[in-house]
Structure 1
């Protein structure tokens, strides 16, 4: 993000990009005309015309969204309101000149500042939260909590699909106010949700934010949006999101403490500590099956507290340990951003490996989850439910580190790496020049496929390639470890078939109990394939993997 300054451009605070649509456009006339070109008002009350046209900032024009061929996983046309975003809602918008930007061209693009938006902005610094001072952590936690409680001043969410947006009588826009952080959650839900073909007829093979090349670019834009909105809320142009280096291995969540993302409740190990403000947060957009049954959208209603039980899923031992630094290093060695078929089965793909569907060396294996996916699953709770994972504020830290890995990879490549980002043939919404759902004004994947410093922020440190450590063992010792791992697989198989159920019940404190090791998520709890893991035992430390199919 670029540093905000007190200039004419910087104090048009109502004109920044956002998810869903500006309140000024969500009127009956605006919805019927499909035009969103508000007037720009200067800080001293002067009208600068539609889209700031009298100040040469922009003009109202037809919005051209190219129809880019995508893969056949989504076989429909004119069914989903996210197709060729945002044309189902608006086809005339402000088109801004130069580096002016915003729904009324009242702001600068990310990475630029100045009255004419012609000066490179000083990047804000995202830090490893473990290295922050106690005061920096307190301010960060307080800022997130404030964003959870602050209604967004300019943007609202749709609570019905495009064909029902004016309600049953055609005169009542179906929109709802939403807080800044809940809008952040809603945006993730909206990008992930199913296509609805009718009551209880979801089409699940669609996701605008995962399982394709846009995984990195979409989440980068998602964080940029939150960072900017929180800067505005705080009146602090230096505010930056922090990150959690989750590639530490082990079975402990080292940021799950009350001075960071919230510790464990002393009486209920699946809840957050009352010493953390996050224990009072209510989740939104959780009830995907209900929205599908009613053919409606999440309206931002509170749906229960955050739950989290890091490393506690005894039914899925492969997700009870965090990724390791050397796994990140191996991922960074992959030279191609993505590979055909550009989905969750792509091999030798940096994107698919970082997302967590490939081994760290780029080999696809449907039985494992690594890196980003493994970090989500390790948390074993709200953060592991794909469509609703952003409800847990640890999502911000988790994805900020994923973005740091992306930035490190970009720094190691040259511009020719863009050739491995598909211009067509990827899943819907994932091609290079597709507009990202649900950002408005529109942002293409290509717009943020660049160094973080060019779009206004930087990291205090970037992950590095990790050289392979020479073996400390003799050939005989390695052979012996292999035999031991094989025996371990047999024992694990027996446990999976007979002993695990009894042991799991004991650890949970009996039937219905809430023990420390309670597995909060089952395979069927996850939407589609995102963040999911098969029932596998993975011996990562010995690089020996044995999979046990219990079905």
Structure 2
């Protein structure tokens, strides 16, 4: 059976299942410790060491480490903001693989084999509203995600635990604390439906030089063009723990990326399941070509070409 991903505001069962899993996976400790993570990452990230306290890490913490680590691995040729998961063509397929691994953990935790990750349609349920309505939306109440400002100590995510955080001097293992948000303080509004339409209407997946300077579907949905837009704008709007490379600390991360993946899926139904660059494109960045293995810390790796069709794993209730 395949999962069906639904809008968090329209499917209360899926919403509760996800929020329960977020808390559960953040409190389910593994045998992995801060010290052992430091030893593993030091082999691939020159000069790396985990700072802070020694402690066991949760399943959720491992996803946070995975995302952060992918951002430290540069591509060849190197260019600003491009790493093995962002700033180039692999942005969408890498996060599709990443979401799939979290969805599998959701299914294991809930015991529901076809449980799907919910998405947050931030354009319709946010961006098309007035700025004050965006902050006061029902999503940011104790019925769903808890408060948009300050520490999240009420609502279903009150018991969600943060142990790994990025600071100016690197990655830290910190005493368990709640999620922190600062919504609407750095940018006042969320992406709008017109932004989504612009990404869907661009018929080129990506183009040379495969970075944050190009106008392409990937770069529009990632949000670098006249940014922060789209995906990037949601991170900046939520703020707090959603800003640094450890942004998966806030479960809003996966709601955002599920919606980004939904937009990409809609684009492919219009323009074909195409991907650029191909394996033989001269000058294309390593790690971003269609047959390159993507960085995986949990589960086996995929190539971009292997995740273009997601129908064996999940579908969406509706495409934008």
List per-residue Cα deviations over 1:279-311 (Å, max 9, x = no partner). 3434343234434xxxxxx57544643211221
Q: Does 2:279 correspond to 1:458?
A: no
Q: Does 2:97 correspond to 1:239?
A: no
Q: Does 2:154 correspond to 1:263?
A: no
Pick from 24, 27, 44: which aligns with 1:149?
A: 27
Asked if the contact 1:147/1:181 (under 8 Å) is kept, the reply is yes
Q: Does 2:89 correspond to 1:210?
A: no
Q: Does 2:95 correspond to 1:227?
A: no
List per-residue Cα deviations over 1:65-121 (Å, max 9, x = no partner). xxxxxxxxxxxxxxxxxxxxxxxxxxxxxxxxxxxxxxxxxxxxxxxxxxxxxxxxx
Question: Structure 2 length normalisation: TM-score?
Answer: 0.82
Asked if the contact 1:436/1:445 (under 8 Å) is kept, the reply is yes
Distance in 1 of aligned mates of 2:116 and 2:31:
21
Aligned to 1:434: 292
Distance in 2 of aligned mates of 1:311 and 1:378:
5
Asked if the contact 1:247/1:323 (under 8 Å) is kept, the reply is yes
Deviation at 1:206, TM superposition (A): 5.1
Matches within 5 A, 1:22-41: none
SS in 2 for 1:285: strand
Deviation at 1:152, TM superposition (A): 4.3
Pick from 385, 396, 406: which aligns with 2:264?
A: 406
Q: What are the ranges of 5 or more consecutive residues in structure 2 without an aligned counterpart?
A: 45-53
Aligned to 2:50: none
Distance in 1 of aligned mates of 2:247 and 2:90:
18
Deviation at 1:408, TM superposition (A): 0.4
Distance in 2 of aligned mates of 1:223 and 1:210:
15
Distance in 2 of aligned mates of 1:235 and 1:241:
14
Asked if the contact 1:282/1:302 (under 8 Å) is kept, the reply is no
Distance in 1 of aligned mates of 2:303 and 2:189:
35
Q: Does 2:202 correspond to 1:346?
A: no
Asked if the contact 1:190/1:438 (under 8 Å) is kept, the reply is no
Deviation at 1:194, TM superposition (A): 6.1
Q: Does 2:243 correspond to 1:384?
A: yes
Pick from 155, 161, 169: which aligns with 1:276?
A: 155
List per-residue Cα deviations over 1:155-174 (Å, max 9, x = no partner). 99632256669xxxxxxxxx
Structure (1 or 2) with the greater helix fraction? 2
Deviation at 1:278, TM superposition (A): 2.5
SS in 2 for 1:403: helix
Deviation at 1:259, TM superposition (A): 1.9
Asked if the contact 1:159/1:176 (under 8 Å) is kept, the reply is no
Aligned to 1:322: 190
SS in 2 for 1:373: helix
Asked if the contact 1:311/1:378 (under 8 Å) is kept, the reply is yes
Pick from 6, 12, 17: which aligns with 1:139?
A: 17
Asked if the contact 1:311/1:379 (under 8 Å) is kept, the reply is yes
Asked if the contact 2:145/2:156 (under 8 Å) is kept, the reply is no
Distance in 1 of aligned mates of 2:166 and 2:30:
23
Asked if the contact 1:383/1:391 (under 8 Å) is kept, the reply is yes
Asked if the contact 1:215/1:351 (under 8 Å) is kept, the reply is yes
Q: 1:164 to 1:380 in 2, by over 3 A?
A: closer
Q: 1:151 to 1:335 in 2, by over 3 A?
A: same
Distance in 2 of aligned mates of 1:411 and 1:435:
25
Distance in 2 of aligned mates of 1:350 and 1:205:
17
Deviation at 1:444, TM superposition (A): 1.3
Q: 1:144 to 1:158 in 2, by over 3 A?
A: same
Distance in 2 of aligned mates of 1:154 and 1:163:
15
Aligned to 2:203: 335
Asked if the contact 1:281/1:305 (under 8 Å) is kept, the reply is yes
Q: CA RMSD of the aligned region, Å?
A: 2.8
Question: Structure 1 length normalisation: TM-score?
Answer: 0.49
Q: Taking CA–CA contacts closer than 8 Å with sequence separation of 6 or more, which of the two structures ends up with the larger relative contact order?
A: 2
Aligned to 1:421: 277
Aligned to 2:181: 308
SS in 1 for 2:123: coil
